[in-house]
């Protein structure tokens, strides 16, 4: 990314789930969310889909922060390891890291931690990268 764009505008998905991007700079994206009652599964703990969404958003955001204006990306594959369950009221912090980036693929890793330092989940994934003909909305 050739210039600092500041924090991206929240998507409708982010608004619905209640997560926010709290850091967005070259090579870094931090996504945070406090688990609500409506995030819980029938077992009374946060649904794994919340974890997956936070990790996907943090890893994808980290990659986006490094892309040229003419490039865009999308998740091609993601593998999540669920390590610890969390309940309502727990504040989660997701981070991403570019492990290796080529012309058309990037290998990413992510961590999801609770605000008390507990490692909740980890992820590895591959993102496809391409040159866009018309620029998507990237504010």
CATH number of the domain to which 72 belongs: 3.10.129.10
- DSSP symbol at 38: G
132 contact partners, CB below 8 Å, separation of at least 6: 70, 71, 72
**Which pLDDT score is estimated for 2?**
39
Higher-confidence residue of 10 and 120: namely 120
pLDDT band at 119 (very low <50, low <70, confident <90, very high): very high
Q: Would 50 be classed as within a structural domain?
A: yes
In a domain, 5, yes or no: no
Q: How do 20-25 and 28-34 pair as beta strands? A: antiparallel
- Is pLDDT above 70 for 95? yes
Residue 68 lies in a domain: yes
Neighbour tally for 44: CB within 10 Å: 10
pLDDT higher than threshold 90 for residue 134: no
The pLDDT, as a whole number, for residue 108 is 99
Q: What percentage of the chain reaches a pLDDT higher than 90?
A: 87
- The count of other CB atoms within 10 Å of the CB of residue 130 is 12
Domain for residue 137, yes or no? no
**What range does the domain containing 85 cover?**
12-131
- Number of domain units in the chain: 1
Q: Is there a domain that residue 54 lies in?
A: yes
Q: Where residue 63 falls among pLDDT bands split at 50, 70, 90?
A: very high
Helix (H) or strand (E) holding 113: strand 105-114
The chain-wide mean pLDDT, for the chain, equals: 94
CA 10-11-16 angle, to 5 degrees, is: 100
What are 33-50's pLDDT values in tens digits?
Answer: 999 999 999 999 999 999
118 or 6: which carries more pLDDT confidence?
118
Residue 7 lies in a domain: no
Instruction: Write down the pLDDT at residue 137.
Output: 64
Residue 6 lies in a domain: no
Q: Is residue 40 part of a domain?
A: yes
Look at residue 9 in the predicted model and tell me its pLDDT. 87
Q: Inform me whether the pLDDT recorded for 116 exceeds 70.
A: yes
């Amino acid at each position: 990314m050739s210039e600092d764009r500041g924090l991206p505008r929240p998507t409708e998905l982010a608004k619905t789930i209640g997560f926010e991007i709290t850091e967005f700079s070259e090579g870094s994206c931090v996504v945070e969310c406090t688990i609500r009652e409506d995030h819980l599964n029938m077992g009374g703990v946060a649904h794994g889909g919340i974890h997956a969404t936070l990790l996907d958003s943090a890893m994808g955001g980290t990659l986006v922060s490094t892309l040229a204006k003419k490039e865009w990306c999308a998740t091609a594959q993601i593998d999540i390891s669920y390590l610890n369950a969390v309940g309502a009221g727990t504040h989660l912090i997701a981070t991403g890291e570019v492990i290796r980036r080529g012309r058309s693929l990037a290998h990413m890793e992510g961590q999801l931690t609770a605000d008390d330092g507990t490692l909740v989940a980890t992820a590895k994934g591959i993102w496809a990268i391409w040159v866009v003909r018309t620029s998507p909305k990237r504010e």
